[in-house]
A and B are shown apart, each in its own frame.
Chain A
Amino acid sequence: MKVKFIISFFFIILSISSQEINPDYYITQAKKIEKSSVLFSIPLYEKALEMELSPKEKSFIIGKLFDLYLNYSKIEEIFILTKNHEIDKSREIKLNHLYKTLAHNINMQEEKFKDFIECLLSKDYHSQKKLLNYYAEERSIYVLNYIFAIKYKLQDFESLGYLISEAPDMPPSLRLAYLIKTNSKETEKKIKEFAKISELTDDQRMEILFLYGAYLQKKRRYKQSARYFRMSASFDKKNTNFAKMGIVEAAKSLFINGKGQEGCELLEGKKIQVQTESDELLNLYCNKKIQKDLNKYLPAIEVLAKQESGVIFRSYLQLYLDKESYNPINYEDNF
């Protein structure tokens, strides 16, 4: 089974590689996909942006990504995109408005907020020191959220490690999240240690269990991961019409473990609040009427499958490979 999976995945990767030559392929696919799934078009535009483009194509993709990120509140991505690429005047106005709103939301002066974000987007030692000062001055969970969200997106673990070592009062959930992301051997021990803190609130318990589920998923212990994700949902007291986050992640662990149908049953008919591409995948997979539509998104799923966090997409490709005589060139037939 394992050998079969490795061979199949090798085949998939080979198939993808053969199509990487031409950015037009990604742009064309992205435009088609965008009509029915904005989220799945994003990785294709991003992929095209990594390639050699004409100035016109480049300007089109940057503008497009800016708009799509804004629509899906992908704030970290907006900051990174606009640091690395120039945007046109109308989007510059939108960006300034975004800075203003976000600064207001966390009660920080706009100029200071801009400086803070600029500092976050740099990886040098001077910026690390500055960030520590921001944290010391503000002592706000929102400031910390920005630091962690953007540093993770940039894979700047050195800066985060520095901050954690210099700020021992950092919230346990963020310390845990860092340990999980950096594959620290201490993770399991620390999770259990934090879970021993007395008088944890339900929200804190939910968060620790959720992180434990994420840790186990990373360790490929999918059954245990699903159980802890599901338990985390039991401490999630928010009442919405959507499936709870822990349940959605439990369903994803089941899906990765080859038990997609059981994952869908776990949702008990509740809708998924689609925020990420993996939410979108599960949402389509669990809706019998539109499940077949997923095949339309194979070009995007292939790109996502190559990313470090793409295990759920690799599982879907494996599933697809088992069902069909897989031939990436045949995607066109699905439109």
Chain B
Amino acid sequence: MRTIFSLFFITYSIFSTEEKNFFPFFQISTKKIIIEITQPNIKLCRVKPEAVFNYNSTIKEECLLVSGRLDKLINKLLNKKSSRKEYLFLLVNSEEKNFLAKLKFSNKEYSLISIIYNTIEKSTYLELLDNESNYYFYTINPKIVNFKLEKSF
């Protein structure tokens, strides 16, 4: 690993007013998040990944059509008998391809790559990309996340 304390790493001050928010900045703290589903028959699938970031080849284990609150879907999809440290969930369309849904918070739009549930921490994470392909890994309360299906479905 790069030496954290190399003379050339930290080159600026991080003196700051210590005014505190309730959550660290890598936790989404908004009241409600809507995941927009723009195609019919989108499923949330529990998958077994072979890589950490590349989800092109995953083994689908169990799927449910999306609707309502994320926490309820995750609960149904968790395999209670397994001793995995984390579960990965992907949105999948009717052609069995990964579906990148859009969601907004803090006036910014993101594409949802995956949802991760860590069984040790009992934490849920969203893996997101912004429109410049920057990657974000946010902790979230799954109770505030809702799927919004287009009316025509």
Contact = CB atoms under 8 A, between A and B. Distances in A.
Interface of A: 73, 75-76, 141, 145-146, 148-149, 152-153, 169, 171-174, 177, 180-181, 191-193, 195-200, 203-205, 207-209, 211, 214, 217, 223, 226-228, 230-231, 233-234, 245, 248-249, 252, 254, 257, 259, 262, 265-266, 275-276, 278-279, 309, 311-312
Contact of A262 (B53, B130, B137): B53
B3 to A, nearest CB: 7
Interface residues of B, number: 36
Interface stretch (B22-30, B34-42, B62-70): B22-30
A64 B35 CA distance: 60
A134 B25 CA distance: 34
B66 to A, nearest CB: 24
A262 B50 CA distance: 10
B12 A141 contact: yes
Contacts of A169: 15
Nearest to B49: A223
B25 A200 contact: yes
B1 A207 contact: no
Contacts of A227: 52, 127, 135, 137
Contacts of A209: 26
A174 B10 contact: yes
A149 B7 contact: yes
Contact of B51 (A208, A245, A259): A259
A279 B2 contact: yes
B20 A171 contact: no
B51 A262 contact: yes
Contact of B21 (A174, A181, A198, A231): A198
Nearest to B118: A224
B8 interface: yes
A260 B51 CA distance: 10
Contacts of B106: none
A196 B136 contact: no
Given A171-B13, A174-B10, A230-B135, A181 B1 contact: no
B153 interface: no
A245 B53 contact: no
Overall SS of chain B's interface = loop
A198 B19 contact: yes
Nearest to A169: B15
Given A180-B4, A227-B127, A207 B135 contact: no
A234 B136 contact: yes
B51 A198 contact: no
Given A227-B127, A254-B52, A275-B6, A200 B16 contact: yes
Contacts of A75: 7
Contact of B52 (A148, A153, A214, A223): A223
Contact of B135 (A180, A223, A233, A257): A233
A108 B134 CA distance: 40
B83 interface: no
B76 to A, nearest CB: 25
B15 A276 contact: no
Contacts of A196: 20-25
A211 B23 CA distance: 18
A245 B14 CA distance: 18
Contacts of B16: 172, 197, 199-200, 204
Given A76-B7, A198-B19, A245 B2 contact: yes
